[in-house]
Structure formats: structure tokens, C-alpha cells
Amino acid sequence: MAGAGAPAAPQAADRFDVIVVGAGIMGSCTAHAAASRGSRVLLLERFDLLHPLGSSHGDSRIIRDAYEQPRYVRMVCLARRLWAAAEAESGYRVLTPTPHLSMGPRSSASLAAALANIGAEEVLADDLGGRWGGAFAFTVPDPSDEWVTALSDHGGVLSATKAVAMFQSLAVAKGAAVRDNTEVVGIEKGPGPEGGVVVRTRDGQAFRGAKCVVTVGAWAAKLLGSISGGVDLPIKPLHTLHLYWRVKPGQEQSLSASAGFPTFSSYGDPPVYGTPSLEVPGLIKISCDGGPPCDPDARDWLAGDPEVTDRVARWIQEAMPGHVDASGGPVIRQSCMCSMTPDFDFVMDFLGGELGRDVVVGVGFSGHGFKMGPAVGKILAEMAIDGDSPTAAEADLDLGFFRIGRFDGNPVGNANKDQ
């Protein structure tokens, strides 16, 4: 990164302890965690820094602890501590705390498990109508299946691009070198007794590293599949949309973060999520999980629209008709990508093959990983430096759930395992 006090740009002959490929939230957190250990770190990004072409840009991401899998509850708890530590280190905030409202049919096993894991307080229908100016007024889709709403204290909104910039700046302050517009096209075993890895770029540069961490998001399958002895990961990029809708006149304050309006997620159909009115005055972010498959190098930037926007608009008209105007469609559409694994679990593992444990892979965060970026980054850095992660062990995180090998002869991975 340019700026006063930034280290000089690395030369092709430089050798690093850890080379991180991909400077989204996961790579930036990994670079910071490794540099905090005193390692000599190089962070490489194929596009401009803080670009809008991947999965880590934009104004907001939700942080919540309502997960049906206990491992993610524990990981979010770890990440919250690390978010707070990074904010204290940087001197500014990227996380706005809010409550979190979970909702859906009582028959949803996923919703029931998530609420049980965090002990969320169920909100009765009459009580819900008296909160936040009566913002939620559900028309139950199926009268035979009671609709459940429950509230947790542990929601929040993360300022996405600002958070990535924070971790990059903190990494640079600890001595990391950061290079953008540097596309990695190959990772090879290092020559001679020193071993390690050689990371090659499209413009002909070669960087030596003792270890390498790959955090390239939607480009994971392409890069890892092109490496000699690499792997064919079943990670599918999806084109998604972040949608901002107009708040109806007079309701702006009731839907604001300052008024205690929650982040929220619906386990019904469609799987809608939202944040308080925060980033843009008079607008509220309400979007839908999923989207059509895409090639990250040849995207249709309008994919999923109007199908996605129509689904969200119908939900708004059923759930928040008095507070949000869906009649004219969303005011802002932000394109993004999710890198989906078949089981929606992350991949955090050693690449194996001829590169063995010298290359660590952190990919496939399936649209819900941003909130856990600092935890993931610390774990990946420890795997690269130490060959294991004491932080994961202390947090009671079984890294076996995140191994590449779970897909060997098993295309659904963890889908049928005890969560």
C-alpha cells in the first residue's frame, strides 16, 4: 500500500516467510495475523486494492451468532473478539452492534437449531408488532405452520470495504508488503534445499516464500486447478445482488441502527436478510441469498435481476408493507459473488500433493464467511507458520470439517454429517 511509512515494494528476488494470494477480507486478515507474529509477509492482489469485482466490497455485511452448526457459533464468538482488537489497534470502528432477529416457520429444523444454540428470546406476535414502530407485520405464508421470531443481542453491521482497508493498513504497519494489480498464475515447489514455494505472476515476476496462503475467493477453482498437482475443488461462484430499498416517509428513524432496529434473517422462502437503515440515509438493505452460477472473469452484471429483486419485493410487501416501499424496485443494486461449496462449509486446509503443507488454502466461504474473517485469517496464518492452529483448538473448532478431502468420493461433503 502506498503512503508514509509503507515498506518498499518487493523485488522479484525477495524471499518472504508467508505469501498471501488474494487481498479480500480473508487474505487481508491472514496477512495481518501473520505480520503480527513477526513474519515477513507479502500480500498479492490481482486487481486494484479495495476493488468491487469480488466478494469483499460494499458498505455492509451482517455479523450474527444465530447458526445451526455450533462450530460457527464458536467461530463468530472468536471473530468478535478479534474484530474488537483490530478496531482498538486501528483507532476506529467498522462494526455497528445491533440486535439480530431470526424468523421463519416453526417447522424449520435449521431455525430451531440456531435459536437453541444461542438461547435466543422468542418474540411473540403481539410483542413484535410493538417494536420498531411495528415495522414487521407478517402475513403467514402457511397458516398451518406457525411463524416464529426470536431476538438475540449479538447482531451487527460490518462496514465491508472499510474493514478490508483496516486489516491491510494494520498489516502494512507491522511490516507487510502489499502489491495490487499483480495476478498470480502459478505456484510451484521451490528449488534446492531451501524448498518452500515460488509464486509466479502474469507479468513474469517470481516471489519466493517459505509458505503460501491462497485466499482468492471466486477464482479458487481456476487457480488451484491450474497448479501442478493441484486439486479440483467443487466450489461454484454465484452472482448475487445487494439491494437497497426506499424507506417510506416518516419511518426513517424507526428503521435506523440508532433506534435499535435489528439485522434480520428469514429461514422461509425466500431466504431474505437485511440490515438497519445505516449506510445510505432513507434506504434500507434487504436482499436474498443465492443467485445464478457465474464465471468470475466473464460475468453478466445483471444476472439474477429481475428474478431476485421480484422475490425480495414480494417479501417486503408481505412482511414490511408499512415501512419499506417495494413498488418501484430497489434504488441501489450492488453486484457481488459468493463462492459456494456443496455443503456451505469453508475450506481451510493444506493443499497437499507435491506442495504438501507449504500451501494453505482458505476458500469457499459460501456467502456467510465475511463476519468470521479475523478468525479465519488467524487460523490460516497459524497453519502456514506453525503447521497447525492453536487458536482453533482453544476455540474448540474441529478443522476436520473444513478439509479438502471431505469431497473425495463424496460430492456433498459435510451435508450428512453430525453438525
Distance separating alpha carbons of residues 124 and 150, to the nearest angstrom? 8
pLDDT at 141: 62
Please tell me the predicted confidence (pLDDT) of residue 307: 87
Fold annotation for 16-57+161-234+343-407: FAD/NAD(P)-binding domain (3.50.50)
Distance from C-alpha of 117 to C-alpha of 95, rounded to nearest angstrom:
23
Closest CA to 236 of 413, 105, 117, 60: 413
70 within 8 A of 117, measured Cβ to Cβ:
yes
CA distances from 245 to 78, 116, 238, 338 (A): 33, 32, 22, 22
CA distances to 138, 297, 372 from 21, rounded to whole Å, are 45, 17, 19
**H/E element holding 245?**
strand 236-247
Residues in Cβ contact with 104 at an 8 Å cutoff, skipping those fewer than 6 apart: 110, 111, 147, 148, 266, 267, 268
User: How confident is the model at residue 418, as a pLDDT?
Assistant: 59
**What are the extents of the domains in the chain?**
16-57+161-234+343-407, 100-152+236-340
Give the closest residue to 66 by CA, choosing from 114, 116, 120, 137.
Answer: 114
SS3 242: strand
DSSP 181-207: S--EEEEEEPPTTT--EEEEETTS-EE
Closest-CA residue to 76 (of 57, 61, 60, 89)? 61
Q: How far is CA 33 from CA 57, 88, 196, 269, 388, in A?
A: 20, 15, 20, 39, 14
Q: Residue 100, exposed/middle/buried by CB under 10 A (0-12, 13-18, 19+)? A: buried
Q: For residue 366, give the 3-state DSSP assignment.
A: coil
Q: Show the CA angle centred on residue 223, arms to residues 219 and 224, nearest 5°.
A: 115
pLDDT at 138: 73
Give me the pLDDT at residue 143, please. 66
User: How far, CA to CA in Å, does 232 sit from each of 224, 225, 297, 404, 411?
Assistant: 7, 5, 18, 10, 12
- Phi, psi (deg, nearest 5) at residue 240: -120, 165
| Residue corresponding to grid cell 463424496 | 410
Distances (CA, A) of 388 to 34, 261, 392: 13, 40, 9
Separation CA 58–CA 62 (nearest Å) = 12
> What pLDDT score does 2 carry?
42
Domain spanning 100-152+236-340: CATH 3.40.1010.10: no
What cell numbers appear for 173 in the block? 504497519
Residues 354 and 189: beta-carbon distance below 8 Å:
yes
**Per-residue pLDDT tens digits of the chain, which is 419 residues long:** 444 344 445 554 579 999 999 999 999 999 999 999 999 999 999 999 999 999 999 999 999 999 999 999 999 999 999 999 999 999 999 999 999 999 999 899 999 999 999 999 898 877 888 899 999 987 666 667 788 899 999 999 999 999 999 999 999 999 999 999 999 999 999 988 788 999 999 999 999 999 999 999 999 999 999 887 778 899 999 999 999 999 999 999 999 999 999 999 999 889 999 999 999 999 999 999 989 999 999 998 888 788 899 999 999 999 999 999 999 999 999 999 999 999 999 999 999 999 999 999 999 999 999 999 999 999 999 999 999 999 999 999 999 999 999 999 999 999 877 55
Q: DSSP 3-state assignment of 412?
A: coil
pLDDT of residue 4: 39
- Burial label, 252 (beta-carbon count in 10 A; 0-12, 13-18, 19+): middle
Q: 3-state class of 400 per DSSP?
A: helix
DSSP per position, 265-313: EE-SSS-EEE--B-SSTTEEEEEES---B--TTS--TTTTTTHHHHHHH
* Contact present, 94 and 83 (Cβ < 8 Å): yes
| 16-57+161-234+343-407 and 100-152+236-340: identical CATH topology | no
**Dist. CA 71–CA 398, nearest whole Å:** 8
408 burial class (0-12, 13-18, 19+ CB within 10 angstroms)? exposed
